[in-house]
Every structure is written in C-alpha cells, then in structure tokens.
Structure 1
Amino acid sequence: MRKYNFYAGPSTLPVEVLEELKEEIADYYGQGLSMIETSHRSPMYDSVHSETIELFHELMSIPKNYKVLFIGGGATLQFGMVPMNLLKSGTTAEYIKSGSWAGKAVNDARTIGPVRILWDGKESSYTTLPDAASIRPGNDAAYLHVTSNETIGGIQWKEFPKTGEVPLVADMSSDILSRVFAIRDFGLIYAGAQKNIGPAGVTVVIIREDLAVASPENLPAYLRYKIHAEKNSLYNTPPVFAVYAMHKVLKWLKARGGVQGIEKLNARKAGAIYSVIDKNPEFYSSPVDKKVRSNMNVVFRLPSEDLEKQFLSHAQENGMLGLKGHRDVGGCRASLYNAMPLEGAQALANFMQTFAAEKG
C-alpha cells in the first residue's frame, strides 16, 4: 500500500509515471537497452529530449524567443549563475528577500557583485510579502529576483511585480507548472525539478534569448547560458534519467488538463487543509498572512511541541509521511505538489480534524 508523501522534496511523483519507469527500466520500448544506458546523442534519447522541451513550451505557453535549458547543480547553482550571467559592470542586482531560499540567493549574488534588497520580510519573520505594485526596480538594476514560493515559510506570490525593461528573474523550484502565469513578464525562470516536475538531478532554466546571448565571455563554458542555449542543453552529458522521467511527468500533466487543470486541483487540495486550520483556531495556527498562503506548502503549528510530536507520530501510523516542518522553523508542513492526489489532501484534512477533536 502506497503512503501519502508530504515531503517537501524530493517529493511525490505520479504513480502512473513510476509504473511506466518500472516497466521500461530494463528495456525501453523493445530497443534492447534502457534509456539510462543509451548515448545522449542517440535518436532514442534525442526524441525524449526534444519532446520534453516542446512540452514545456506547450504547457507553459512559452514564446518562441525563450530557450528551455536543462542544467545540473540544482537551483543552488542558479543562485550563482544568474548574477554571473546577468550582472554587468555598473549595474546592481536587486532582490526581494522573502525567506530562506531568497536569502541563499542573495548571499551567493553578493559574492559576484553589488546587491540591493528592495524588500526584506525579516520584521514579519518572513510570513508575508509586499504588494507587487509597490516594487519599483532602480535605474541601475541588472535584474530583479523573486522566489515565487518559499518552501520553508509557506508563502507564495499571487501576483508578480511588473519590472518593465528590467528583467524579472524567479526561482520557481517549488511551484513551477502548478499555476498559470505569463512567461513574457519574466526574463529568466529557474526551477529544480525535484518538487513538482520530476526526480532530483535536473534544473530547468527558461531564459529569454537576448539574455542568454549576452552571457559574458570570461565565464567557464558550463556557467554560461549562451553555451547551453547554443548546444540545446547537450554541451555535456545531460542528466538523462531525470529528463526522461520529467518527460513522463509532463505528459501526465498534459493528459490531466495541463496547468489550467492542475491549478484548480491544487487550490482544492490546499483549501481542504487551510479550512481545517481556520475552523480550529485554538488548536491549529498558521503564521502566514492569508493573502499569500502557499498552495504548495501549508505550514502550521499545534498548541505545544509535545502535541506536534504526537501528531507527526500518529500521522505516520496512518500512512502520511513527511509532515515535520523544516528544522529552521519547526512545526508541521504539508507539501501538496502536483502529484499529490486530492485523496491525500482530504485524508490529511480528516486526520487533522479528528486529532483536534480528540486532543483539543
């Protein structure tokens, strides 16, 4: 019996995808070898590689003047690659410091060049976000960086700043392909796959062509977006298995109504959990400003740490894993990524209601 996986990442994958991978792991469609054994230059892999890029363009309505790149190193490598490629002499990198992951991006950018924090959520303990309309990039801004969804803090941008000629850059590792938005408003988006679109090992970078072409010549080849764009993400051996699995996840998503369909489902899943929290304010509490509550990562506390330990233990006994909050903040956290079925969210909501009734 499969358990409900609420881990924040690596996270749950569609059962259908796992079954397909199991079926094909030793012999891919009668080819006599596995996809993870074949050459990344072979027609067998090339078709998967190309179709995965096409699926991104289709599902996210990505304009033709954007490149979809597959890069290793996780989103963590992008914390450095973004300023390395976009931060030019005489310009400043601007950041919205919305939580832990935004803070890590800031720290790495500061090793590359000047950084300006336009907004810092420290005073609110990173439980809210600024009004998007209030954010105004400076005249010398090379780009403005936001973290679309803070996995640890459970906050999510519902609308994004309008930055005009200044490229808007976003770390979308934990909510890419979970909701509809306009790609053309961004210059660059990056996302580690392991939360919403596949297994760990590949990072997706969606970059406007003019920004990719302008990569500095004095960077090592692998650190230049231009090289990855020119070589169609085949400059070196790509993370073949991760791309292959991601290809299946994208087809799974397309068959379920695409991003529009999954956005509605994600709202129902998150709504089921937040409803229990709001109906039991003396037992459950969420520190997050309701206007920016994440649909991907629901964070909450119980009246005491002892009750939280009991809650986590009983949840695990009932087949629900990964509900412990991040070590930096404690409490509880339910990650509701695309592949989490509605039944899983409803099972957790029912368990929470029962637990509150018994222990409250």
Structure 2
Amino acid sequence: MIVIGSGPAGLAAATTLASVASVLVLDRENCAGGIPRHCGHYPFGFREFHRLMKGPDYAKKLVDRAVKAGVRVATGVNVVELEPGPRVGVTSNAGRSHIRSKLVLIATGVRESSRAQRLIGGDKPGGILPTGALQGMVYLEGRRPFRRPVILGTELVSFSAIMTCGHAGIRPVAMIEPNPTVTARWPTGIYPWLKGITLHLSTDIKRIEGRSWVERVVLEGPAGETVVETDGVIVSGRFLPEATLLHGSHIERDPATGGPVVDSYGRCTDPAYFAAGNVLRPVETAGWSWAEGRAVGKAMCLALENALPARETPRLNLVGDALAWAIPQHVGTGAEAALDRLQLRVTRPVRGRLSMRVDGVEVASRRISTRPERRITLPLPHRSGSVEIVLEEE
C-alpha cells in the first residue's frame, strides 16, 4: 500500500492500514509530519492524543505512532505520476522509478494562494511570504524575516501567523480583510485588538511598494486609499489543494474544489486510488484531516477485502450561485461511509436555508448564516438516488 503525503491524514490512514497490509508513505519533504511541523504553537492533538500539543510535537507523535505500527516512511521522494494499475512514478536522489501497489492514498494537503493569484500589484521586493514559509523560517530556521509586517487575511491561519510573529519578536502593524467581517469564528476577531494590531475590514492591498525590500503597502478601503509603512507582507489563507499530481493523470479533478472527485468512501474515479485530508478541499484543521485519514484508511481496508459497495453515482448537484463546492461529489447512503457528512462552503457571506433532496424529495435541511471558508455540513442521505443541495437565500 502506498500513501502519498506524511501529514496528519496520510499518517492516520497509514497507521490504520498497517494492521492489514504493508504500507509505504512517500513525502517530498526531508522530514515527515506535514504542515504541523512548522507550527510551533498550540492547539494540536486533543482529538488524537487527548492533550494539547505544539505542532512539531504533534507531528513527531503521529510519525512515531505510524512507525511503531510498522509503517515505512520514505522522505525526499517526489511522486510525479499517477498511473492505472495502480502504479506511481517517483524521483529521488536514487533517480527515477515506478512503484506498484494494491491501493494508493493521495494525501498531499494544501498550499496558500500566492500574491500573483490574488492579483496584488506594485513592485516585487523581498519580504512577501505565505504563512507556511514564515513558520518554516521562524520555527525551523530560527530566522526573523521582518519586524513590522502586515497580514493579509483573517482565516484561522492568519491568526496562526500572529502567534508565529510573537514567537520571533515580530510585531505586525495591521491585519487586512477584504470582506466586511472577520472570516474565522468569534472570538478570534478580538485577538488583533489584544495584540495592538490595527484591523482593516472591507479593505484590500492595492499595491506593494519597495525596491529591494517591502517599504509600504497601499490599501484600498471604505476611506479610499491609505498608506501603511511596513517591512513585510504575510499573504495568508485562501488555500488550494496541492493537487498538481492530478494534472495529466487519468483521475478526475473537481474544478470547484481543485482536488480529486471522490465518493463517500474516499475513492477517486479510479477506485484503486483514494484521497483524504486537505487535498480534497481548502481547508480543514489538522484534527479533522487526521480523523478523515483514519476513516478513509478503514475504507481502504475494506477495499482490500472487496467489501466496499460499488462506486456511487450520479454526481451531486449544487443549486444556488453562493454554493462554492461540496464533497464527496458522489454521495451514497452513508452506511459505513468514510466521509460520513456532506461538507460544503460558500463563495460569499450568506444567510438562508440549505436543503438536501434525493430524487426531488427533501431529506434534510438546516438554516445557515455563514461566510466563506467556514465549515458547513449535512448528514448523508439514508436513501439512494440523485442528490441535490439547494440554497435559498434570505
């Protein structure tokens, strides 16, 4: 069995699979553990280990548990091809080769959107970083890339950036959010105030100025253009699945999530391939990804015994232009499903009624008042048929 990615989802699935098969985890990084390795702060591990841990300790604990279960972990190995069979093409210091397996799990995680993807204009100086790069510099290299940055975004990862800055003696001067409200749930919105960081809502970065290094940013907001003197920009959030492997492969990719199309068991369109964790969507917590990896790992154990039902069809249909995406894209009846709840996101702040219909009959509903990047779930239906999710806005 091959698992691609050694973050919480990949390691949880690998540990589960090790009870019934030989498992090899492949990761392009030189150290296993995924994104939590870079997060030298709390809270991690309560769901998994029933205690609060810092990211690096949590990552090490996951790796140790997997290795103790018999999982082999190979780092510095880059997977470059997904082929029917299943067979994966890899490159490493030993050269290029192919590995065959009974089943393959894709658990390659996410990455933050770049400055270019956010269409931020201006100069191209140094000092512009995503949160992940900042955390790597601070926690893994002991570096302080700037002293007075601004933070773009108010997702959970944006507040993680504030914690990382505090660890390195960096004092952010502003937090900038294009939407009229903070994206992360209350009470995170008071955290910038507690830290003396000015929060700009309904505001975006129009351009970045500086020669060799960031010197200032020009903001565009309710009061028009304003200038903030700064020496760095942290571009946080707006995650995208790290699904480059799917380009040119035979596995279908969902244009809405950016990740693979899966059914309720985590199976891709080639049933020899499964997927779990944040490669499925942008973005969930480490604990959520771990639980999802473990559940998909159990489904893969059943697949080895030919005990999974046939792949579910037809594809889920979304009705309402505020609905961004949903997973799984092929929905079964929920019996022993790995992805046991339908997960959805919206494109803008909305308030209204969300309902699930099977063959035109409503089987579940809930009222929602939510914002982009916030988790929305519905139970899987208990009957088979054509599933439709309808959002009626108020």
**TM-score, structure 2 as length reference:** 0.30
Bigger relative contact order (CA 8 A; separation at least 6): 1
Higher helix share: 1
Higher strand share: 2
